[in-house]
Amino acid sequence: MRRLSLFALPNLYWITALSIIVLALVMAIFPVESDDLMLYLGIGRHFFLTGAIPATDPFIYSIQQYHWHVLHEWLSFVLSFAFFYLGGWNLIIILKCSLVVLALALPLFAGWHHIARKRFASILSLSFTLIALWAAAPRFLARTSLISDVLTALTLFILMREDASGLKHRSRLFGFMPFIFLCWVNLHPGFIVALAFLCLWFCIKFTTLWLQKKPMLKRYYIVLMLTLLACLINPQGFGAIWFPIQEMTNAKLAIFRANTLEWLPSYSPMFLMSSMFLCSVLLSLVTGLLLLVKMWQKNFSQTLFAFFCYLLLLYLSISAIRFVSLAAFSMAVIASQTAVDLKWLSSRVKSKIHTAFLFSILGLTLGIIMQISLHGYQVFWETRRMGWGLNHAAYPIAAADIIQDLDIQTPIFNQHGFGAFLIYRFGEQRKIFFHGAVDDGDFYAHDYLGVNVSPAEFDRIVEKYHIGAFLLNPPQTGENGGAPLLFQVNLNTPEWALIYRDEISVMYLRRIKENQAVFDKLSMLA
């Protein structure tokens, strides 16, 4: 009777895969620090209180009757608040971790599926998954863009599995496409990338079969048509498809992207020399090399779809930091599936070498788990450590308490990054100046960034909006747009008084009669 060994190759593969999943959880379990989530909760609470998502922004005073573009994401607001109501911050973190695990399970499954025949290719899938995990880590935030990152990878996985299964062996997952897009189109506009992948796949499949004089399966037509119809089942109809295209091509939003971290190119200095960026580059190079080798082996038609997807993902990952995780998850799927399709990776390497390679990946993964568990890991200028709940160091919680306790009623000019939290905290009770869902490029350039341009522009904006207080990041944070001018000149006058300061925020109050009651309270407290 053959003795089963814990270190038999299939068992060792799963042990190593499990260690990668554990590493993903260690990296993804940290206190909530997502501005987008705060906005979801604010809008979701409004929905449950009123039964509708308003067509105009009810949270800002700066633009009257502003027709915002959020209705297409209505399901994300409803579900976010529902999950938060049921399980608080910890349930949100658990759901986020589930998405990360799903994204990593896709390339791992592609490798496991061929472990018996193509051992080395299957083992490579572990390496691709580990590299993708590290490259995508900066975007492990509780926001619906993570759903798009994961579902894009899932769409690629399904389409490549459908190609691998052939015309005679149908993949059951392919039939779920309409349902996936029906949910997705109401959650986040990132579905547009995967929809482009699906249409590209259909065109290539149709052309290939036509050249081979083979009939196209009816279910391909049915799934494509149902998926396109599903993308129209949204409160905005076709507008849900047009919105992400319009946003990406809107030149007026260029200044907004230039001043927002996630929209900066991935080769920006703050990200360029990070280990996450280097892993992203490595995964891109390996994936491209594997695709070129597959083409060279006269598998051009089978590789064309994956290669075009790869080029689009490569462009997106270079164009903005926010797309690095999307590209990493999807490229891991492409690289793993391509590796198992290559004949020269069918593995004639000895089993001992396979085992040694697996032990190397396992040892590296366990070492990283230990390091992060003890010391956390660096993302940009912050260190992430394991934890639950809300990251109080990420939000102006104490400053919001001051606003409430002192009952400041005059209009407040708020930092961009504080807007969503103030919506979550105060709802419509205290309206704010700006938040991330306001996509008016002219307003952002002239009236938000304008306070840092000159004293004259500062005075114009203060008078135009009757601003009585400023809630900002501390000056030492080096805010884009020239914050030193705002602090050193514009607010450094007798008209403005610094009433609160901590490591997260500073608050200035204007000496006007509308704020006299607040100054009286401050005098009593002093």
Q: Is the pLDDT of residue 349 over 80?
A: no
pLDDT of residue 438: 93
Residue 214, token pair as written in the block: 């083979």
Q: Per-residue pLDDT averaged across 104-115, rounded?
A: 79
Mean pLDDT: which of 44-48, 349-353, 477-481 is highest? 44-48
Q: Which among 279, 305, 281, 307 is positioned nearest to 293, based on CA atoms?
A: 307
Residues contacting 95, CB < 8 A, separation 6+: 83, 142
Confidence of residue 126 (pLDDT cuts 50, 70, 90): very high
pLDDT of residue 167: 52
Q: Give 395-525's CATH code, choosing from 3.30.420, 3.40.50, 3.30.70, 2.60.40.
A: 3.40.50
For 162-192, how does the pLDDT look when each residue is reduced to its tens digit (9 = 90+)? 887 665 556 688 999 999 999 999 999 999 9
Residue ranges covered by each domain of the chain: 9-30+69-384, 395-525
432 strand-pairing partners: 60
Residue with tokens 């990878």: 153
Task: Kindly give the interhelix angle for 351-375 and 9-28, rounded to the nearest 10 degrees.
Answer: 20
b/e per residue, 332-356, with b = 16+ CB within 10 A?
A: bbbbbbbbbbbeebebeeeeeebbe
Q: Per-residue pLDDT averaged across 45-64, rounded?
A: 94
Q: Is the pLDDT of residue 346 over 60?
A: no
469 strand-pairing partners: 412, 509
Lowest mean pLDDT, pick from 40-44, 105-109, 209-213, 459-463: 209-213
How far apart CA 137 and CA 118 sit, in angstroms, is 29
What does the angle CA 271 – CA 277 – CA 280 come to, to the nearest 5 degrees?
A: 150
b/e per residue, 49-83, with b = 16+ CB within 10 A?
A: eeeebbeebbbbbbbeebebbbbbbbbbbbbbbeb
Q: Is the pLDDT of residue 219 over 80?
A: yes
How far apart CA 178 and CA 329 sit, in angstroms, is 22
3-state secondary structure of 508: strand
pLDDT of residue 487: 84
Q: Is the pLDDT of residue 1 over 50?
A: no
- Percent of the chain exceeding pLDDT 90 equals 69
Q: Which among 168, 176, 175 is positioned nearest to 220, based on CA atoms?
A: 175
Q: Is the pLDDT of residue 9 over 80?
A: no
Would you say the C-alpha torsion 255, 256, 260, 264 has a positive or negative sign? negative
Q: Per-residue pLDDT averaged across 201-215, rounded?
A: 87
Mean pLDDT of the chain: 89
Q: Which residue would you say has higher pLDDT here, 357 or 229?
A: 229
What backbone phi and psi angles, to 5 degrees, belong to 436? -70, -15
Q: Which among 240, 186, 1, 171 is positioned nearest to 76, based on CA atoms?
A: 186
DSSP assigned state of 6: T
Q: Per-residue pLDDT averaged across 377-406, rounded?
A: 93
pLDDT of residue 249: 81
Confidence of residue 66 (pLDDT cuts 50, 70, 90): very high
pLDDT of residue 484: 60
Q: Is the pLDDT of residue 71 over 60?
A: yes
Residue 471, token pair as written in the block: 């809630």
User: Is residue 329 within 8 Å of residue 152, measured between CB atoms?
Assistant: yes
Q: Is the pLDDT of residue 2 over 50?
A: no
pLDDT of residue 419: 96
